[in-house]
Amino acid sequence: MVIEGKSVFSGVAIGKLSIFNKKDNTVKRNTIQDVEAETKRFEDAREVAKTQLAGIYEKAVKEVGEVNAQVFEVHQMMLDDLDYVESITNMIESQKVNAEFAVATTGDNFSDMFASMDDDYMRGRAADVKDISNRVISILQGNSNDADMADEPVILLADDLAPSETVQLDKSKVLSFVTRHGSTNSHTAILARTMNIPALIGVDYPEDANGKVGIVDGFEGKIIIDPDEETLKVYQEKKKQEDDKKRLLQELKGQDNVTLDGKRINLYANIGGVGDVASVLANDAGGIGLFRSEFLYLESDTYPTEEAQFSAYRKVAENMAGKKVIIRTLDIGADKQVDYFELDKEDNPALGYRAIRICLTRPEIFKTQLRAILRASYYGNISIMFPMIISVSEVKKIKEILAEVKAELDAEGIPYKKDIEIGVMIETPAAVMISEELGKEVDFFSIGTNDLTQYTLAIDRQNPKLDDFYDSHHPALLKMLQMIVDNGHKGGAWVGICGELGADTTLTETFLKMGFDELSVSPSMILRVRDKIRSIDTTK
């Protein structure tokens, strides 16, 4: 069976198909007869949940460190909280209701109670109690609360994947992404490019595909389910050829990013978390041009603490051993929603309350992140970048807040890099038009071409119906890019690209001739872009 789709990253994947099912924790109230048996059901589920959390904690300690894993210890302790447990068992006994309903009701009640408290720490427990309640409900319903990834790598099929879901996946077990919905510019697509695996969208796969052998052809945009022996052999040879090309690129490690006529450009990598640094180093990137710090928030059940953030930023800085690490302050909002931020539903979220707008109106969140970044800067070559800027006044306000945080750290005797470099993302037409003025306020620009394209062309990049209208090579966009480079240099800022367009090798020569100082791309694209740079003569 061959099903057509739209490719968002090329390549070939061969393996078992696995359908990613979102958990349904819908709970109905049922009357029960055997109170003792129902109470035991709850107690058994609670013990299973504690065992799960202990295992997750141990795994998290190894992967992200003890500080970042502490949330799972907190969850284990909450499952032993006497008030929480007695509320559930009392409801089962007095109202003769099923355990699922008692857990759900108690979870909602306790969550509301924590959310109404004045203390920030206690308010943060609201999301925790909901999470542990959902875990217990999943066990009672016979579901697993953790990702149902197979022991072997699989081709993952899904209706769609939210950023908060993709960060939970064991990426070593994913050969390819195939979704029914989504767009070529979705975060699932960006993740696929980061992981260097083929991905398709718009594929109406059958429900009985689970467990069958499949082939994803990211070159032609199709998936083949239950291929015959001859087709399988053809694609195994295609995959071998692709693997051979990747091996040849490895010979470019240690080589300079210099054109035939001697023009040099910095080539950095984009990452979403600490775990991506290994890929950055493996692909010989010169630094990190975009650390998407919002993934620390997407991975958490509550606001990540200063210590948790500091630990992550410090680890990346130390691992990069003096190479530049540009941390973008949180870019929550639009398609990256986090429940505990309690953002209102918006008709046009991409144009709404997001990124720097949240930071400037919730300074307590912003200051926590800035403190963590500044503290980590003492351990490496860190720069800070601010997203979604539309005015000089925003930059001046940011600098005021940054100065306040520095003064606090000075008063506490906490060391940090005093002359830390700051920059802004140019991703709105407004920022383009005032780029010369912005260049006088900051050290560098990094162009977010994904958003700049959608705002310039008035196209929602998350809407798959508009993919054919989304033209990242549009003359208006290319004129803007030249304007940004020229104005940035006039103002004294160096200029780079961290959007997906930076990895488009059909434009690499254009970017070099425009005068860009840096390109930041997915780790998997570093050597391909380096290969292209070294083949260009900009004098011709």
* Rounded-to-integer distance, Cα 80 and Cα 77, Å: 5
357 annotated binding-site participant: no
323: CB partners within 8 A, 6+ apart = 285, 286, 287, 288, 381
134: CB partners within 8 A, 6+ apart = 23, 25, 107, 145
Structure tokens that stand for 174 in this block: 């994913």
328 annotated binding-site participant: yes
DSSP letter for 273, please. S
Specify the 3-state DSSP secondary structure of 50: helix
Query: Taking Cα atoms as reference points, which of 38, 140, 43 lies closest to residue 94?
Result: 38
SS (H, E, C) 114-163: HHCCCCHHHHHHHHHHHHHHHHHHHHHCCCCCCCCCCCCCEEEEECCCCH
- Reported for 296-301, long-range contacts at CB under 8 A and 24+ positions apart, including other chains, are 297/330, 297/332, 297/338, 297/341, 298/163, 298/164, 298/167, 298/336, 298/338, 299/164, 299/167, 299/168, 299/273, 300/71, 301/71, 301/127, 301/128, 301/131, 301/340
Residue 7 and residue 200 in contact, taking contact as beta carbons nearer than 8 Å: yes
* Rounded-to-integer distance, Cα 290 and Cα 76, Å: 34
Query: Taking Cα atoms as reference points, which of 445, 460, 371 lies closest to residue 407?
Result: 371
* Rounded-to-integer distance, Cα 140 and Cα 136, Å: 6
DSSP letter for 329, please. P
Residue 222 and residue 10 in contact, taking contact as beta carbons nearer than 8 Å: no
Query: Taking Cα atoms as reference points, which of 46, 68, 44, 57 lies closest to residue 133?
Result: 46
DSSP letter for 466, please. G
* Rounded-to-integer distance, Cα 204 and Cα 181, Å: 9
284 annotated binding-site participant: no
Catalytic residue among 75, 359, 473, 498: 498
Catalytic residue among 75, 181, 187, 474: 187
526: CB partners within 8 A, 6+ apart = 267, 269, 283, 284, 285
Q: How many CB atoms lie within 10 A of CB 63?
A: 12
Look up 359 and say whether it is catalytic.
no
Strands (E), 370-449: 381-386, 421-426, 444-447
432: CB partners within 8 A, 6+ apart = 426, 452, 480, 483, 484
314 annotated binding-site participant: no
Length of the chain: 540
Sheet holding 222-225, edge to edge: 2-4, 222-225, 213-217, 12-19, 154-158, 174-179, 199-201, 6-9
- Catalytic residue set: 187, 498
Binding-site residues for phosphoenolpyruvate sit at 292, 328, 450-451, 461
Binding-site residues for Mg(2+) sit at 427, 451
Binding-site residues sit at 292, 328, 427, 450-451, 461
